[in-house]
Structure 1
Amino acid sequence: MSSPNRTPSQTPVQAAGCVLWRRARSGGELEVCLVHRPKYDDWSHPKGKLKRGEDPLAGALREVEEETGYRAAPGAALPTVSYHANGRPKEVRYWAAEAVSGGFSPNDEVDRLLWLPPTTARTRLTQPRDRDLVDALLNTMRLA
């Protein structure tokens, strides 16, 4: 929500995404999905800006499907991440989400996708703030 005293450049951009996971076909080990965005040449979790009036969880699931081609079953809420992007504050709400169907095809936003064990995913992620989300996913799965 924007404060009446905030200028548009101070109002956080609202976004949402998921730490998408699945069980590996061989062995059933946990794998985390990372996407490569050529525009930024980075590895991150699927996420994107919310549409006006869009529910954050619905937006997170929409972004996952648009960027990865996978439909996801949402799980626990994960920490919200706040940072500055293009000179504006940004808040990204995250959820754990299990990939249930679909498949990846490269698109304008994402040219590559990897399914990696959590420890490998942590080292591949470009931003340290995204690494903390892998830890949050693992913690929620231990508690489930």
Structure 2
Amino acid sequence: MLAAGCVLWRRSPRAGEVEIALVHRPKYDDWSHPKGKLKRGEEPLRGALREVLEETGYACAPGPPLPTAHYLANDRPKLVHYWAAEATDGQFVPNPEVDRLLWLPPDAARLRLTHERDRELVDAFRDVLHTA
């Protein structure tokens, strides 16, 4: 299965520090980065931006690519392409797929994430954007 997503980030409106968006998916009761399945023939970056908008309500400007995740989902191989992407405009509205969105500093985001592979993306994000 092919999927794509982003480590969505912004500058905090209060302090100007980097914050990462995490989404809560009630179906799995987990916290993750916004991502989803690619449509047939869809380019991974286009799919990542579409999924971010669908899940978070935010448009974003794509930045550097991040490591691709490889893992099993329902006993089937899954490949997820990721990019760092800065939120440009939007507003979150809860929906059946994603019921909550949190903006957290990287350290707090790393602790909140459910899966280790998502924590590793925070580390890669820090490396490419040179953030603490």
Q: Same fold (TM over 0.5)?
A: yes
Question: Deviation above 3 Å: which 4+ runs of structure 1?
Answer: none
CA RMSD across the alignment: 0.8
In 2: Cα distance, 1:124 partner to 1:42 partner: 9
Corresponding residue number in structure 2 for 1:108:
96
Shift in Å, 1:20: 0.1
Q: 2:25 aligns with which of 30, 37, 44?
A: 37
* Structure 2: stretches of 5+ with no match in the other structure: none
TM superposition score normalised by structure 1: 0.90
Tell me, yes or no, if structure 1 residue 66 matches structure 2 residue 54. yes
Q: 1:46 aligns with which of 31, 34, 59?
A: 34
In 2: Cα distance, 1:59 partner to 1:110 partner: 17
Equivalent residue pairs, number: 131
Shift in Å, 1:38: 0.2
TM superposition score normalised by structure 2: 0.98
Shift in Å, 1:27: 1.4
* Structure 1: stretches of 5+ with no match in the other structure: 1-12
Shift in Å, 1:26: 1.1
Corresponding residue number in structure 1 for 2:113:
125
Question: Sequence identity, in percent?
Answer: 69
Query: Could you give the per-residue CA deviations for residues 69-112 of structure 1, whole angstroms, max 9, x where no partner exists?
Result: 00000000000000000110000000000000000000110000
